[in-house]
Structure 1
Amino acid sequence: MEKYEMKVMTDIKPREKLLERGESALTDSELLSIILQTGVKGKNVYSLAKDLDGFIKAHDGSISYTGLRKFTGMGDAKTLKILACIEYSKRYKAIQSKRIESASDIYKLVHNITDKRQEYFILITLNGSAALIKRRVLFIGTMNKTLVHPREIFAYALRDRAASVIFVHNHPSGSLEPSEDDINMTRKLKIVGEIMDIAVLDHVIVTKNDYYSFSVNNML
């Protein structure tokens, strides 16, 4: 039985195609051609990318530096670039598939903002299995009703097709006590979430040493 073959469209170069249609519109070999950038003697970048795509898939993605270097046309620069991309994608996939089960999971996920001197507001979107879809810094500054607008927040949740969301922001002062603005903002966001059928699971305030969960403290 013949298999379908995704052919590289040479009339629209991969870079232009990505800009016009987005990365999801590119075939695997087209994505590789962007990473490789150039071909080798006797083989243009599209042909090299197609052959390399088949080589990588034949090894189920488990390839080493030595294995790649044996592939025709793969010098040090191209080999290291491909290996770095594969490793990065593995790490990214591991993060994306992580289930969020408690506020402590959230604290680990956003620990990089705990020592910031400004307030950072982060939106975390989750799928129906409570697995992480995306972590976004949406606002930097004083968290108040003027800065944090539900329309912008839930636009991203809709874009991610999220089943639920969690909000996080830090308190540079070190205090875990939610302010009046924090409480009012959370109530407003929860109401909007209910209207849009996107569950607001928690709002977590973080500091360098600890965290406060609205959910755990029955504030949702």
Structure 2
Amino acid sequence: MQKSSFSILITTKNRKKDLIFTLGKIQYLLDQENVDCIICDDGSTDGTSSYLQDNFPKIRLIKNSESKGLIYSRNQLMSLVTTEFAISIDDDLHFITQNPLEVIQEKFSENSKIALLSFRIFWDLKEPTATDCNEISCRVKSFAGGANVWRMKAWKEIPDYPSWFLFYGEEDFASFQLFKKMGSTLFTRSFSKS
């Protein structure tokens, strides 16, 4: 059995409709043998967990009986990753870039000091007609918490996100830890959300 290279991590709470849409859009990734998916249902009361169990039996589901918060849930997910890379996306985010896993793999292969890639986010329900752009990847100081991919070797070298950050702040904390501990590099890449 081939070991997975990527884990897709999603936190959700009472956003079943958005999550269903997202899972439909990334189904082609979930069908790949080198991809695992772990979802944390952070205390939903809208039937999210039941829906996932009935319709996505291959997805690993963790369920908080009561909400523990976004950052706590992200730490839970990261602690379960056994793959080389962990892709964190929001429950209303999907890739519109063609072949995203190949692009991710290529970027990490180009530079062994890259600890994390941050994705560019496209905010609109209507997808653009083309995703090619003139922008190049560049070093950044921080990243989008719900649109990134970690090299797990780097994640394991720094402290978990502080759970007391309720919604914002974990990105700057992790970025600082990476620069302080490893001199690692964070890059942004043009992936999108609609």
With the shorter chain as reference, the TM-score category is: under 0.3
With normalisation by structure 2, the TM-score equals: 0.22
Higher relative contact order (CA 8 A, sep 6+): 2
More strand by share: 2
More helix by share: 1
